[in-house]
Amino acid sequence: MGRRRHFRWEFMVSSTTGDDTAKGTVSPHLTRLLVRAGIAAGLDRSRLAGVPGLSVLDEDGIRIPTATILRVWELISGSAWQTGGSNRVMELWRPGGLGVWDYLFAVSGTLGDAFQVASRRLTAIADPADRLVVTRDEDGGVTVSWQGPYRDHPDYPMIAEFATYMMLVMAGSGAGRRITPVRVHLPHRSPAAPRQLMELFGTRRVEFETGEPSITFARADMEAPLPRADPALAAILDDHARLSVVTARPVLGWLDRFHAVLESAVAGGPPGLDQVAARLAMSPRTLQRRLRDEGTSWREELERLRRRRVDRLLRETTLSVESIAARVGFTDSRALRRAIHRWYGHGPAVIRAGGPT
């Protein structure tokens, strides 16, 4: 493989227009596909009850909490995903299934143009913290990398695989033919049967433990004219993608915002009440009162989030108890072990032996 050298930014990434108002939210389009795929794979609908934002998922012109889509990722992960989850989701996709964003690929002049505008308007489907970065490589290929703030999330490998595969599907939809990538980079360890991923991406050059998830296309594929190119319509859709973010109505109740801030705080280490209250622009006393009004408490909410994450990490990763403690915000492994005994009545080894749920 030729050595990759990011010698210049090929495309500008992500307009900031509307990013402040969209912070902590995503378009509902991808979440709809994930929910449908999960149900088709046997997910019990009752497990979706109470997930913030799902009750209005079919409405247009809204944005739902980013914490909602992360919770859906958790619910659909496991053994069902290991049997072709990325493909199952994208099999449900039809043009417009990701809103105006996927139409940008249909009307652009080339795939290079398509990824340029898609990276700039990624917030039309994703959280403003997500980015697509497009670079030209030393060997002539063009690499599209996905960068998201979810590296410590238990389901990051699954999210990274899907984001990479979605880019391949979008490229094929714009070109009107199957595109064979030059190579694919995934951040997680190679699975026991990597052939399944090679078949998914259509190439044997799938490499693991490579940092950011990315997919590299041949220069000829990126520069070939697309069959449905329409410059005038492309300009209209570009502006529509921008407006879809600016005019969207965030569906964020107060408790939803609290959950989103708490998720973010736990990812950075042991969270404090003062820290989360400051992010919500309120005093610690007011935060505690608001939680009481919702029938819960700081301790209960923190415990619930930690327990869910610990359960997933023990069952579906090989991380040590010490590493899990650090990721979930415990001061040390002893504190985590005490919490596990309090929750389950036994130690972490029993949970790990049970495997994925």
pLDDT band at 268 (very low <50, low <70, confident <90, very high): low
What is residue 17's predicted lDDT score, i.e. its pLDDT? 43
Name the DSSP class of 332: S
Q: With a cut of 80, say whether residue 82 has pLDDT above it.
A: no
Give the chain's mean pLDDT: 86
Average pLDDT over residues 250-262: 79
What is the torsional sign of CA 81, 323, 151, 63? positive
Q: With a cut of 60, say whether residue 63 has pLDDT above it.
A: yes
- pLDDT above 70: percentage of residues in the chain: 91
User: Of the segments 53-62, 224-233, 266-275, which one has the largest average pLDDT value?
Assistant: 224-233
What is residue 20's predicted lDDT score, i.e. its pLDDT? 64
What is residue 11's predicted lDDT score, i.e. its pLDDT? 35
What is residue 80's predicted lDDT score, i.e. its pLDDT? 58
Give me the DSSP letters along 172-199.
Answer: HHHHTS----SEEEESSPPPS-THHHHH
Top pLDDT among 54 and 144 is at 144
Cα separation, 220 vs 223, in Å, equals 5
Q: With a cut of 90, say whether residue 143 has pLDDT above it.
A: yes
Look up residue 76 and give its two tokens: 């659909």
**Cβ contacts of residue 350 below 8 Å, gap of 6+?**
344
Look up residue 224 and give its two tokens: 């070939």
> Residue 238's closest CA among 93, 136, 119, 131?
119
Measured N-to-C along each axis, helices 156-175 and 111-120 cross at an angle, to the nearest 10 degrees, of 130
- In this prediction the pTM is 0.73
pLDDT band at 197 (very low <50, low <70, confident <90, very high): very high
The burial of 194, by beta-carbon neighbours within 10 Å (0-12 exposed, 13-18 middle, 19 or more buried), is given as: middle
Q: With a cut of 60, say whether residue 3 has pLDDT above it.
A: no
Average pLDDT over residues 311-331: 86
